[in-house]
Chains A and B, each alone.
Chain A
Amino acid sequence: MEPILTKNWGKPHSRSIQTYLAQGGYATLKKMFQMSPEQVTEEAKRSGLRGRGGAGFPAGVKWGFVPKNTGKPIYLCINADESEPGTFKDRAILENDPHMLIEGVIIASYALGVRTAYQYIRGEFYRPWEMVEQAIAEAYQHGFLGQNICGSNFSLDFYQHRGAGAYICGEETGLIESLEGKRGMPRIKPPFPAVSGAFGCPTVVNNVETIAALPWILEHGGEAYAKIGVGKSTGTKLWSVSGHVNRPGVYEVPLGIPFKLFLEEYCGGVWKGRKLKAVIVGGSSVPVLTADEAFAVTLDYESLQGAGTFLGSGGMIIIDDQTSMVAALENLAVFYHHESCGQCTPCREGSGWVEKILHRLYHGEGRHEDLALLQDLADKMQGRTICALADALAMPVRSYVTKFRTEFEAFIREGRSPYPAPEWQG
């Protein structure tokens, strides 16, 4: 496979503009300025590229929702919040090849008629923020940002906006609120950001990985991109793999490869020669798969949906057979309760109750009714809130309790876990 997103990673000075220019970077812009913005959007549509931030909505189609000629400016927001547990692929792009992202920003902005684009980056990514600041400065110096880019009559400013620690700012309307200088509390939709987003203007929010694929798509054509992958899962995807594997890391593979092959060939298999117990494929918020379920899927949107889960952000967490699923779910419940913005009662109170019940279960004071109570709470949380954060806890709760029920029951019966807490390998 020809790498698309990772082709420069590991090269010396891979994030400098010299390295990027030397491998032909920014060259597609000349070609692009010969095209109309509509043609660029068409190319994105033809590629079938789907949003890599979690929802998987086709990027070109989303751009098409932006009303033209409203007289208002149109904004592009790059989502570099990357706070989904298990997900660290966008950071890898920011650190290894920020110019590919910037070139993508120029392409998307041209297609959308954007004059000012922002990158919303989580506050904890201080070093990546510095690296991208440096790359933005280089891009301005070389005339790829600012007035009349490459002699065209297209001008664009691109700024970074640092968050300050809040998972909810990755949700697109929470992100917009935070960009506007407020608490990152999601907005009720509609109106959708495409119609009324940042500063009351049409706004597109796209993930870092989505935007970084655009230079290749423009250079090789949307059709070439659509040929990679399977069906409606076109192109390559970055998987960030963590947990109990021999080789954790970020891997680029075409969509559609079997999970088993990926685990063995890329990740070096489950560590310590142990067996696989469970896999979270798309970041902590998607339903968990048992080992048997996982070995039956291929890594693409449709196959994973068929298995009752989601590709999500591609944050894959591998769990070995020595791990307590009760403890794992308790860990996640703490996260979601902490990160709930508190606007919706089902999310604010539900996540608190889920955490409390799992906590007492974990400390040997579980009651048998607790499992039904957890299910009931999950049912009352899902689909009843402003944003999907409540669902992001409800789905794991339901899937862990259903698929690992005997483990939860044994835990309650014995008052303790048959599994030791994970050790620190050091």
Chain B
Amino acid sequence: MAFQFTPAQRDQIEQLCARYPTRRAALLPVLWIVQAQEGWVSAEAMEAVAQVLDITPAAVYEVVTFYTMYERRPCARHHLQVCRTLSCWLRGAKQLTKYLEGKLGVRVGGQTPDGRFQLSEVECLGSCGTAPMMQVNGRDYYENLTPEQVDKLLDALK
């Protein structure tokens, strides 16, 4: 079935649009609404977003592809994003990533066959003083990670 906004979402979108002098300015927040619901942003959803904001589908597409956080394909249930940048690297982020690759049996960029985990490396998450760290599902930061904590976390994420 084609992607459609619910009436409640349409209201939410109108409220967002009222915050800005142009409708287009609501593009990023509207894409967040889509992703919160679907888990990713499909071509169909991009069409719907273009229509509701009165812009071209190309304008939506170029934004979706510019930003790293909009997913263009369905994700695994849990997305583990390890920070790889300097401060984290100095405190062993590379080893943390290797540890996760070993535990999950996937390489960076991959998903476990059961669709439970997806592993990525990302750039500095603004948590450099609590390295090494990772973000889970685009929401929660897990900081000062130890192998034991990683084990516990993976068990908890069903």
Contact = CB atoms under 8 A, between A and B. Distances in A.
Verify that A and B bind, or say they do not. Answer: yes
A123 B126 contact: no
Nearest to A84: B124
B99 interface: yes
Interface in B75-112: 84-87, 89-96, 99
B94 to A, nearest CB: 6
Interface string B4-24: 000000000000000111101
B129 interface: yes
A250 to B, nearest CB: 7
A332 B84 CA distance: 10
Contacts of B26: 181
A124 B141 CA distance: 9
Nearest to A169: B67
B27 interface: yes
A333 to B, nearest CB: 11
Contacts of B96: 424
B25 A181 contact: yes
Interface stretch (A62-70, A160-168, A218-226, A229-237): A160-168
B67 A162 contact: no
Contacts of B114: none
Name the residue among B86, B92, B127 with the largest chain A CB count within 10 angstroms.
B86
Contacts of B155: none
A423 B146 CA distance: 12
Nearest to B145: A426
Nearest to A157: B19
Interface in B31-85: 31-32, 53, 55, 59, 62-63, 66-70, 84-85
A332 B90 contact: no
Contacts of B32: 123, 162, 164
A185 to B, nearest CB: 8
B63 A182 contact: yes
A422 interface: yes
B63 A181 contact: yes
Contacts of B122: 124, 165
Given A167-B123, A335-B85, A127 B25 contact: no
B85 A423 contact: no
A421 B140 CA distance: 28
Nearest to A342: B66
A197 interface: no
Contact of B95 (A180, A323, A423): A423
A240 B67 contact: no
Interface residues of A, number: 61
A187 interface: no
Interface string A106-138: 000000000010000011111100000000000
Contacts of B95: 421-424
A183 B62 contact: yes
Contact of A165 (B67, B84, B128, B145): B67
B129 A250 contact: yes
B113 interface: no
A60 interface: no
Contacts of B131: 242, 248
Interface string A322-360: 010000100110110011000000000000000000000
Given A124-B138, A157-B19, A182-B63, A83 B90 contact: no
B29 interface: yes
Contact of A86 (B20, B25, B87): B87
Nearest to A168: B66
A337 to B, nearest CB: 11
B147 interface: yes
A93 B3 CA distance: 39
A425 B92 contact: yes
A126 B22 CA distance: 25
B125 interface: yes
Contacts of A339: 123
A331 B92 contact: no
Interface string A165-190: 11100000000001111111000000
A317 interface: yes
A347 to B, nearest CB: 16
A199 interface: yes
Contacts of A157: 19
Contacts of B24: 180-182
5 contacts: A124-B138, A180-B25, A181-B27, A248-B131, A424-B94
Interface of B: 19-22, 24-29, 31-32, 53, 55, 59, 62-63, 66-70, 84-87, 89-96, 99, 122-132, 135, 138-141, 145-148
Give me the 10 closest cross-chain CB pairs, A-B, nearest first. A424-B92, A181-B27, A164-B67, A424-B95, A165-B68, A165-B69, A242-B128, A248-B129, A242-B87, A183-B66
Given A85-B85, A167-B124, A331-B89, 8 more contacts: A87-B128, A164-B69, A165-B69, A184-B67, A323-B90, A331-B85, A332-B86, A424-B99
